[in-house]
């Protein structure tokens, strides 16, 4: 069973860059799945950030597109998220997840535990 | 963006009850609708995908129905572990969007 684990700094300064990595175990990031990031501000709902395929093809939420970059490292079996020019509004728990099939019709079927990133000076 | 509207926003029920949660899309999304359960401090857990397909390992008391713009999650015979927040999500178009959630509380 695939397992995902987020890692990265828990505190980022305003106007700085948020960088997170999601390590995949029990499966290969090179399989026919998309990999995705979702965030949840404290006490709020879920917001989809974007997705990446092992080929490097990406799709981003237009609301974040100018600040988001995702990448995949097949040698390390992990994928990453970078969010630039952060503000307090980017404070959230960030989850990485696997999309169950070639399309998101199958839902996000495996999730990391989430990591809280706080934007503060 | 496709807007997802859930109702009710909160719901009180008792163990053994049957409950339904509704989700409406701002445009037709065919059957591209998923349901998640989230407990406090935990990641969401996929319950239903493609509107009515039960995710592996999910108890059969959970079921989903609907197509187009109207969808329903039904939980029959509520168990203590079912008290949580439920989210619908459309996977028809990018950006994928979630409903605001329905919190199911113990009466």
Each residue of B17-53: pLDDT tens digit?
A: 999 999 999 999 999 999 999 999 999 999 999 999 9
Q: Residue written as tokens 């879920």?
A: A46
Residue range B89-102: average pLDDT?
A: 97
Taking CB atoms and an 8 Å limit, are B87 and A111 in contact across chains?
A: no
Taking CB atoms and an 8 Å limit, are A48 and B100 in contact across chains?
A: no
- From chain A, pick out residues whose CB is under 8 angstroms from the CB of B55: 107, 109
Cα separation, A108 vs A36, whole angstroms: 8
pLDDT at A15 over 80: yes
Confidence of residue A32 (pLDDT cuts 50, 70, 90): confident
Choose the mutation target among A96, A100, A104 for the interface with B, i.e. most B CBs under 10 Å.
Answer: A104
For A36-73, how does the pLDDT look when each residue is reduced to its tens digit (9 = 90+)?
999 999 999 999 999 999 999 999 999 999 999 999 99
pLDDT at A102 over 90: no
Chain A residues in contact with chain B using a Cβ-Cβ cutoff of 8 Å: 38, 45-48, 59, 61-63, 95, 97, 100, 103-109, 111-114
Half-sphere CA count of B89, side-chain side, radius 13 A: 30
Q: What CA–CA distances, in Å, run from B83 to B13, B67, B70?
A: 9, 26, 23
The shortest C-alpha distance from A108 to chain B (Å) reads 7
Enumerate the β-bridge partners of residue B71: B23, B66
Taking CB atoms and an 8 Å limit, are A61 and B55 in contact across chains?
A: no
Cβ neighbours for B40, distance < 8 A, ≥ 6 positions apart: none
Looking at residue B33, what is its pLDDT? 97
Taking CB atoms and an 8 Å limit, are A48 and B46 in contact across chains?
A: no
Q: Do residues A79 and A52 touch, judged by C-beta distance below 8 A?
A: yes
């Amino acid at each position: 069973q695939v397992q995902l684990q987020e890692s990265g700094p828990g505190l980022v300064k305003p106007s700085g860059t948020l960088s997170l990595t999601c390590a995949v175990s029990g499966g290969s990031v090179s399989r026919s799945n998309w990999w995705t990031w979702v965030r949840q501000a404290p006490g709020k709902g879920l917001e989809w950030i974007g997705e990446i395929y092992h080929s490097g093809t990406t799709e981003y939420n237009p609301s974040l597109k100018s600040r988001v970059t995702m990448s995949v490292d097949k040698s390390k079996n992990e994928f990453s998220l970078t969010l630039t020019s952060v503000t307090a509004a980017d404070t959230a728990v960030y989850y990485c997840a696997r999309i169950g099939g070639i399309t998101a019709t199958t839902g996000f079927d495996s999730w990391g535990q989430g990591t809280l990133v706080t934007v503060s000076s | 963006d496709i807007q997802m509207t859930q109702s009710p926003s909160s719901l009180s029920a008792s163990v053994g009850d049957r409950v339904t949660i509704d989700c409406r899309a701002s445009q037709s999304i065919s059957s591209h609708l998923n349901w998640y359960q989230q407990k406090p401090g935990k990641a969401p857990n996929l319950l239903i995908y493609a509107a009515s397909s039960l995710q592996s390992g999910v108890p059969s008391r959970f079921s989903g129905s609907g197509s187009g713009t109207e969808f329903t999650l039904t939980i029959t015979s509520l168990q203590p572990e079912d008290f949580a927040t439920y989210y619908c999500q459309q996977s028809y178009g990018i950006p994928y969007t979630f409903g605001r959630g329905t919190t199911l509380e113990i009466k």
